[in-house]
Amino acid sequence: MENKKIFLIFGNPVSHSKSPLMHNYFFKKENINACYGRYLLTNGNEIISKFKELKINGANVTVPHKEWAYKEADEVRGIAKKIGAVNTLVNENGKIIGYNTDAEGFLEVIKEFNYKKVLIIGAGGTAKALSFVLPKANILNRSEERLKDFQEKVTFTWNNINNFDYDLIINTTSAGLNDDNLPAPAIILEKLFKKARYAVDVIYGKETPFLKLAKKYNLITKSGIDMLVYQGVMAMEYFLGKKLNRKKVAEIYFEILKG
């Protein structure tokens, strides 16, 4: 029998992560001889030495270590090179390769949407990652400071937004995560939702005020659970070194997360 493969997630904190639940359920369902754990890592600069010391086959990386994983990986491939952050590490014959499946997973979520004009709300790490896979998107942020990171983009703050014509509105802020805030004033969102067809939130675990409002305007919506699932499906493709039937694997992940 083949040796058991070991995977884990590095983060700080890491106890809240749904990745072990998702991936272990998949291994069990598919009869794959592997297991997936979590590792509380304090010093991000030790991520690759820990990976090698633990002799694991692959890992995911969550807050706040994604930039460290990018810096320390033996090689970085794909969109992760542009984003500057790695959320998936794979052991390829002793060489630790870094990928970013957050942004790729997001594209998979909106694959069936028919959109041209996109507005990203927020200007933090998630907005940055998504802006690489949605290069024509405009950005709306509460304050000016972080918009400096989006020099080549059309950007607005709440005070100067003058374009409300978008098909797809994405909330990447943490507004609504631990409170009932909207990511922008209702008057702005209502003008946007009147014209838009789709609204996606990256927050998961609850229906946010942003998505509740979008539903009032009959928009087609997706929550952060979809992004979580698809970043996991794509990470699994890297872990197993093969293409998967993404829709089918996603259904397995949804099954355990919703249950």
Q: Which residues are catalytic?
A: 66
Instruction: Find out whether 124 and 131 touch, Cβ atoms under 8 Å.
Output: no
x-or-dash pattern for ligand NAP, window 114-143, by CB under 6 A? --------xxxxx--------------xxx
Residues 48-77, interacting with ligand NAP (CB under 6 A): none
For residues 169 to 198, the per-residue mask of contacts with ligand NAP, x marking binding by CB under 6 A and - elsewhere, is ---xxxx-x---x-x---------------
- Minimum gap (Å) between residue 182 Cβ and ligand NAP: 7
**Dihedral angle computed from the Cα positions of residues 247, 248, 249 and 252, in that order, rounded to the nearest 10 degrees:** 120
Considering the complex, state which of residue 91 and residue 210 has its C-beta at the smaller distance from ligand NAP.
210
In sequence order, what are the residues at sequence separation of 6 or more whose Cβ sits closer than 8 angstroms to the Cβ of residue 172? 120, 121, 122, 124, 126, 127, 130, 202
Classify residue 69 as exposed, middle or buried by CB count within 10 Å of its CB (0-12, 13-18, 19+): buried
> Least distance from C-beta 141 to ligand NAP, angstroms?
5
Residue 100 touching ligand NAP (CB under 6 A): no
Nearest-approach distance from CB 126 to ligand NAP, in angstroms: 3
Q: Which of 60, 88, 208, 231 binds ligand NAP (CB under 6 A)?
A: 231
Please state the residue numbers annotated as binding site for shikimate: 17-19, 62, 87, 102, 204, 231
Please state the residue numbers annotated as binding site for NADP(+): 202, 224
Residues that bind ligand NAP (CB under 6 A): 102, 122-126, 141-143, 145-146, 172-175, 177, 181, 183, 202-204, 224, 227-228, 231
